[in-house]
C-alpha cells in the first residue's frame, strides 16, 4: 500500500523575476511524495496563475487523487485521472521516481534511454530598465545562451543593450504574449540584425492564427499556445519550435509523447521550466536530450537550491543523482 503526502515550499529568488505579466520574489512550489515500503518517489510542480492555478487548487487536486494513488494508480491511469497541469505533473514525476527506485534502475532507462547526457541551459534576463538588463547580461556574458524578457513594442533598446553587453552569447527573446502581429512584423528584421536566434510566444495564445502563412525572418517558438498534444496541430504552420514544460503538459509522461509527435510534425524542441528547484528540473533532463534549446535555469535564479540538487557548472547541467530524483 502506497502513502501519498503533499506540501507547499517557498524558495526565495536571488533577484525579482519579472516578465510582461508581473513579478515575483519567491518560487512557490508543490512537492508530492509517494512512499511504498522502503521506496519514496518525489515530484515538484509550480502552480501557475496564467493557467488559472493556485497552490490551494493544486493541493486539492492531489488530495482528490489520493485514494487512487494509494491504491496503486500508475502513470497511464493518472493521465485520465487529472487534467494537464501542475497537480498531475507533481504526481506523474513522483510515480516515475518511485518506479525507478522500485526497479533499481534510473528513470531514463524506463524512458528508453541508455544514458543521460549533460545539457547546456539558457540563462534568463528579467524584464526591467534597459541598464539593469544590460548589467545582468554583462554579468552573465560568458554564458553560451541568454534569454531576455520583453514586455512591449518599444523594448528594442533593451535587446540592443543586452547584445552589446554580451556580444558572444546566443540570444532568445521571450515576449510572453506581449506583442501584436504588427509589432512582430516591425521588430523581427531588427531582431535578426541584433543576432536574435529565436522569439518565444510573441502573440497572445488564441490570437496566433495571424501567424498562418507569415514567413518570419527570425524563428518563432510556441509556449503559452502549447500545453499538450491537443494543441500541437494548431502550432504547425505558425511556429518553427515548441516549448514543452512539464507543468503545462502535466508531467513527463505526456511531455515525452508530445515531444515525439512534435518531432514527427517537423517542429524543433525547446524544453523550458517554471522557476523552481532542481527537483523540478531533474525529470526535464530526460526530455531535454537532443532538444535545440534547453531552458532549465530555475535553480540558478534562487538564493539557494535543495540538497542534493543538480550539479550546474556555468550553464552545464549534469544528470541528477538518484538521491535527487529518478
Residues catalogued as catalytic: 149, 245
- 272-282 burial: b if 16+ Cβ within 10 Å, else e: bbbbbbbbbbb
211 vs 89: CA distance, rounded Å: 30
> Where do the H-state alpha helices sit in the chain?
55-64, 66-70, 75-81, 86-103, 107-110, 130-139, 156-165, 181-193, 232-235, 246-249, 252-264, 278-288
* Cell numbers that stand for 146 in this block: 541568454
d(CA 114, CA 136): 38
**Three cell numbers, residue 46:** 509550480
Residue 204, C-alpha cell as written in the block: 497572445
Question: C-alpha grid cell for residue 275?
Answer: 522557476
Amino acid at each position: 500500500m502506497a502513502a501519498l503526502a503533499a506540501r507547499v515550499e517557498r524558495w526565495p529568488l536571488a533577484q525579482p523575476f519579472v516578465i510582461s505579466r508581473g513579478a515575483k520574489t519567491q518560487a512557490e512550489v508543490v512537492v508530492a511524495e509517494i512512499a511504498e515500503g522502503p521506496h519514496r518517489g518525489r515530484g515538484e510542480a509550480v502552480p501557475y496563475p496564467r493557467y488559472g492555478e493556485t497552490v490551494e487548487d493544486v493541493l486539492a487536486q492531489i488530495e482528490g487523487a489520493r485514494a487512487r494513488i494509494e491504491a496503486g494508480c500508475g502513470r497511464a491511469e493518472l493521465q485520465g485521472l487529472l487534467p494537464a497541469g501542475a497537480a498531475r505533473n507533481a504526481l506523474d514525476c513522483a510515480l516515475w521516481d518511485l518506479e525507478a527506485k522500485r526497479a533499481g534502475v534510473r528513470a531514463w532507462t524506463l524512458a528508453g534511454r541508455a544514458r543521460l547526457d549533460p545539457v547546456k541551459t539558457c540563462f534568463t534576463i528579467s524584464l526591467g530598465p534597459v541598464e539593469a538588463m544590460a548589467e545582468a547580461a554583462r554579468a552573465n556574458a560568458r554564458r553560451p545562451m541568454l534569454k531576455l524578457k520583453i514586455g512591449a513594442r518599444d523594448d528594442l533598446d533593451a535587446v540592443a543593450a543586452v547584445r552589446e553587453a554580451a556580444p558572444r552569447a546566443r540570444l532568445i527573446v521571450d515576449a510572453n504574449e506581449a506583442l501584436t502581429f504588427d509589432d512582430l512584423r516591425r521588430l523581427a528584421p531588427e531582431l535578426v540584425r541584433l543576432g536574435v536566434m529565436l522569439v518565444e510566444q510573441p502573440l497572445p495564445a488564441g490570437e496566433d492564427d495571424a501567424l498562418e502563412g507569415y514567413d518570419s525572418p527570425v524563428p518563432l517558438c510556441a509556449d503559452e499556445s502549447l500545453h499538450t498534444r491537443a494543441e500541437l496541430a494548431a502550432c504547425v504552420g505558425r511556429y518553427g519550435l515548441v516549448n514543452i514544460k512539464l507543468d503545462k503538459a502535466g508531467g513527463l509522461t505526456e511531455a515525452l509523447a508530445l515531444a515525439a509527435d512534435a518531432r514527427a510534425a517537423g517542429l524543433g524542441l525547446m524544453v523550458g521550466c517554471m522557476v523552481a528547484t532542481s527537483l523540478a528540473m531533474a525529470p526535464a533532463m530526460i526530455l531535454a536530450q537532443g532538444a535545440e534549446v534547453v531552458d532549465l535555469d530555475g535553480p540558478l535564479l534562487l538564493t539557494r537550491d535543495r540538497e542534493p540538487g543538480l550539479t550546474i557548472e556555468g550553464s552545464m547541467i549534469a544528470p541528477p543523482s538518484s538521491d535527487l530524483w529518478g
